[in-house]
Structure 1
Amino acid sequence: MERILITGGAGFIGSHLADALIDQGYRVRVLDALSEQVHGGVRQPPDYLNPAVEFMHGDICNAESVGEALQNVDAVFHFAAAVGVGQSMYQIARYTDINNRGTAVLLQCLIEQPVKKLAVASSMSVYGEGLYRAADGQTCAPPERLPAQLQQGLWELRDKNGGSLQPLPTPESKTTSPASVYALSKYDQERLCLLVGQAYNIPTVALRFFNVYGTRQALSNPYTGVLAIFAARYLNGNSPLIFEDGEQQRDFVNIRDVVQACVLALERDQAAGRIFNVGSGLSHTVRDIAAHMGRLLGREEIRPVITRQYRVGDIRHCFADIGEARRILGYTPRIGLEEGMGELVEWLQTQAAFDRFEAANEELSQRGLRL
C-alpha cells in the first residue's frame, strides 16, 4: 500500500495519523469539510496539518468529492463524523446525515473504486453502559438508568434485587446498547463498513476509540473530549462543571497510542473483519481528571464544581478491555496519563481557547436534555 486516504483527516486524530503514516513512507491524502465547529470560520487547512499531505476540501456526503478523493488510493481511514453525545440529541438530522449517510456515500463509491484495506473510527459510546459484576459474581450488561433514578441522584447502577454492581473492563464481546443518537450513528458506521467490506472483499477493521486526548484537540468546541473542555474552562478562569457526582469512570487514551493502534490495524492482515477497543486499559474518575488538569495548569485555586445534574444519553462507567488489540494487533499503550497530560498542558500554554461550554450546556437545558 502506498497512498492512504483519511476522511476527516484535518482533525485531531486524523492529522496525527497523517504524520505517522508520512513518517513511515506512505503518501497521505486528506478529505475534510473543515467544519466551522471544529476549525472555526477558516476555510484553509490548519497550520498543524503536515505539509506533505495532499489536502482536498470536500464533504463526505458528496459522492463526486468522495469519488475524486478515492482515485489511486490503496487504503482508507474513515474518520469523517459529527462528534458529540449531547448535541446529537437535538441535531438528529445533521448527525444522521453526516455519520450514517456520509458512510453510505463512501461505501457506495468504494464498490466502484475498491481498496486493499478500510478502517473505520467507531466509539466506546456504542456499548452504552460498560460491563459489570453482580454481587453473585456473574458478569452482566445492565439496562439504562431510569430518569426517576437519576432525578433522585442515584447515580450508580443496581441489579434487579437492588444489589450493587462493580464496573469491569469492557470487552468487544459486550452487547452494544447505544444511548444517544451519536452512539447509534457510530454503531451504524462500523456495521455498514464491516458488512459492505465482507460483501465486496474489502478487508475492513473497526476501531472503538475510548476517551482520546492530546495536542490539536478543538479547544473551542464544547462537544469535544472532556479534557479539552476542562482545559478551556481553566484557561478562561472558569471552574470545570462536572455532571452527576464526578465518580464516573472512563478510559483516557493518549493520541500517540491511538495512532499506534491505527497503523497496526492497517498493516496487520489478521485485523480484517474484526472490531478492536482502543484505550489505555485503565480507568480514572472524571472528578480526579478535572482536579489533575487544574494542578498541571497551575490553576489549583479554581475548583471543579460538582453540579449533581445529568445529561440525557450519558452513561455511568465504561473503560476498555484491550486484550483483543494486544493479542491480534500487538497493541501496547506506551503513554502514561502523567506523561500524556504533561504534553497536553505544555501545548495548551500556547493556545487560545474560547470557552463555549455554558452556552452549549444551556442549549441542553432548554431542550430538557440536562436535568
Structure 2
Amino acid sequence: MSKKVLITGGAGFIGSHLTDELLEQGYDVRILDNLAPQVHGPQPQRPSYLNSEAELIVGDVRDAGKLRHALEDIDAVYHLAAMVGVGQSMYEVAEYTSVNNEGTAVLLQALIEKPVEKLVVASSMSLYGEGLYRSAAGTLVSGTDRDLAQLKARDWELHGPNGEVLVPVPTPETKLPCLASVYALSKFDQEQMCLILGKAYNIPTVALRFFNVFGTRQALSNPYTGVLAIFASRLMNNNSPCIFEDGLQQRDFVSVYDIARACRLAMETSAAAGGVFNLGSGRHYTIKEIAGGVAKVMGKEYLKPEITGKYRVGDIRNCFADISLARSVLGYDPLVTLEEGLLELVEWLDGQVAEDRVEQAQAELSARGLTV
C-alpha cells in the first residue's frame, strides 16, 4: 500500500511541484490550502496546474477541525503553509504571526494527538539575516549588521573592524540566526517548534531552509513573491525591474524542481530526522544579473533595471547557501541550472497574465517609513 502524504499549502508554487514529484514516485497526496487571494487571485478556485490525482481540501491550517479531517489516514506531513514576504511582514505583523506561528502550533497540537511517521517543515534562508563573511585577515565573520547612518550614506557593503570590506562566503547551517524581519522570525519559530515537538513526541522531523526558489507557477501578481517572478511581472507589463540598493547584493537561486526532489529525499532519508538543511543551488548571482538575465530571455533587454538606491528595512546584503550537508546526508544534487530554468519560465509566461503591483507595494513600505 502506498504512503499517504498531506501537504499544507500544497496548492501553491512549491507545493504543487512537490505534489507532482510525490505522485510520480507512487505516493498518494492530499492537500490542505486556503487558496489565499494574494496568491490565487480574488476569486480563488482549484488551480488548473494542480495535479488532478491530488485530493484538495480547501481550508485554513489554523482551523483545528479542518486540520484533523485532513490528517485522517495520513502517514507523513509536509508543512509548507505560510505567508511569504519580508517587506509585507513588517506591517502585516498580526496576520503573519497568526498564519505562520499559530498555524504551525495548531498543526503540532493535532500531531501530538495523532502522530505521523515523518514531518518535513519548510524553513527559510531569511532566518540567517546576513550570510557568512570572511575578513581581510581570513577569519570568518557572522552576525554583522549595517546601521542606518551607513545605509543613508549609500554605503551598502559590510565592513570589518578596520573598515575593510568583508567578502561573502557560502553560509552553512551552523551560522547562528540573525532575525531581521517578522517573516524571518516566524520561519525560525515554525522550524524550531516542529523540531522541538517532533523530538518530544518521537515524530521524525526535518527542517529545510529554502533559498530563493524560482520556476513556473509562481504567483506573478503577488508583489511579495520571489524576486525573479516580480521581475518577470514587471517586464510582462513593459516596466523596468526595480532593484533596491545598487543591485550588487548576492543571492542563491534554486529551481523548484530541485526543491521538490530534495523535499522527497528529506522524507525518505531516515538519517535526516532531527536535522536542518540548506536547500539552494550552491551558486550565487547579483540581483542586477538576475534582472538582466530575465529581461534577456524575455526579449526585453531594452528595459534596463531601475536601480533605486534605496534600502528596505529587513533586507540583507548577501546570503547564499553552503549545501554540503544536504549533499552528504540527503544525496541532494541540484540538476537545473539558472539558464535552463529561465528558458522554461519564459515558455510558461507566454499566455500568463500578471498584474504589476510593485509600485503599490513600494508605496505601502514608503508610507510606513520602511524604505530609506
TM-score normalized with structure 2 length: 0.99
The residue aligned with 2:85 is 84
Whether 2:192 is the aligned partner of 1:186: answer no
**Corresponding residue for 1:217?**
218
Give the residue type in structure 2 aligned to 1:173: T
SS of the residue 1:77 aligns to: strand
| In 2: Cα distance, 1:163 partner to 1:301 partner | 36
The secondary structure found in structure 1 opposite 2:119 is strand
Report what 1:136 is aligned to.
137
Aligned counterpart, 1:363: 364
Aligned to 1:328: 329
Q: Contact 1:142/1:157 (CA < 8 Å) preserved in 2?
A: no
1:117-151 CA-partner distances (Å, limit 9, x unpaired):
00000000010000000111000104221111101
Contact 1:233 1:355 in 2 (8 A): yes
SS in 2 for 1:114: coil
1:237 deviates by 0.5
Q: Which residue of 1 aligns with 2:15?
A: 14
Q: Is the 8 A contact 2:204 2:273 kept in 1?
A: yes
Report the equivalent of 1:169.
170
Unaligned runs of 5+ in 2: none
| Alignment pair present for 1:274 and 2:275 | yes
- Report deviation, 1:160: 2.1
Distance in 2 between residues matched to 1:42 and 1:195, nearest whole Å = 38
1:142·1:159 contact (CA, 8 Å) conserved in 2? Answer: no
Equivalent-residue separation in structure 1 for 2:179 and 2:253 (angstroms): 20
Q: Retained in 2: the 8 A contact 1:5–1:30?
A: yes
Q: Deviations over 1:191-216 (max 9, x none)?
A: 00000000000000000000000000
Deviations 1:256-292 (A, max 9, x none): 1001110100100011000000000000000011011
Alpha-carbon distance in 1 for matches of 2:162, 2:79: 43
Rounded Cα–Cα distance in structure 2 between residues aligned with 1:338 and 1:41: 33
Please give the alpha-carbon distance, in whole angstroms, between the structure 2 residues aligned to 1:350 and 1:18: 23
- Give the AA of the match of 2:46: P
Q: Is the 8 A contact 2:143 2:178 kept in 1?
A: no
What are the residue-to-residue correspondences of 1:193-272 with 2, within 5 Å? 193-272=194-273
Q: After TM superposition, give the deviation of residue 41 of structure 1 in Å.
A: 1.7
Would the aligned equivalents of 2:150 and 2:156 in 1 still touch at CA under 8 Å? yes
Distance 1:174 1:144 in 2: 15
CA distance in 2 between partners of 1:160 and 1:136 (Å): 11
The residue identity in structure 1 corresponding to 2:355 is F
Aligned residue in 1 for 2:285: 284
Cα distance in 1, alignment partners of residues 44 and 228 from structure 2: 26
1:169-206 residue CA offsets vs partner (Å, 9 max, x unmatched): 00000011110000000000000000000000000000
Off by >4 Å, runs of 4+ in structure 1: none
The 2-side partners of 1:256 and 1:349 are apart by 20
Shift in CA distance, 96/77, structure 1 to aligned 2, threshold 3 Å:
same
Structure 1-normalised TM-score? 0.99
- Matched residue, 2:348: 347
CA contact (8 A) 2:172 2:323 kept: yes
Please, which moves more after superposition, 116-125 or 156-165? 156-165
* 2:248 partner amino acid: E
Please name the residue that 1:114 is paired with. 115
Deviates more, 1:233-242 or 1:41-50: 41-50
What is the distance in 2 between the residues matched to 1:228 and 1:340? 12
Q: CA deviation at 1:334?
A: 0.4
Gaps of 5+ in 1: none
Q: Is the 8 A contact 1:310 1:370 kept in 2?
A: yes
State the partner residue of 2:311. 310
Residue 223 of structure 1: how far off its partner (Å)? 0.2
- d(CA) in 1 for partners of 2:321 and 2:239? 31
1:100 Cα shift? Answer: 0.2
Amino acid at match of 2:289: D
Which residue matches 2:148?
Answer: 147
Q: Distance in 1 between matches of 2:143 and 2:364?
A: 29
Which secondary structure state, in structure 2, belongs to the residue aligned with residue 30 of structure 1?
strand
Corresponding pairs, count = 371
One-letter amino acid matched to 1:123: S
Q: Aligned pair 1:38/2:39, yes or no?
A: yes
Aligned equivalents of 2:26, 2:174: Cα separation in 1: 35
1:301 is displaced (CA, Å) by 1.2
- TM-superposed CA distance for 1:350, in Å, is 2.2
* SS of equivalent residue, structure 2 residue 56: strand
Amino acid at match of 2:211: F
Give 1:161 deviation, angstroms. Answer: 2.1
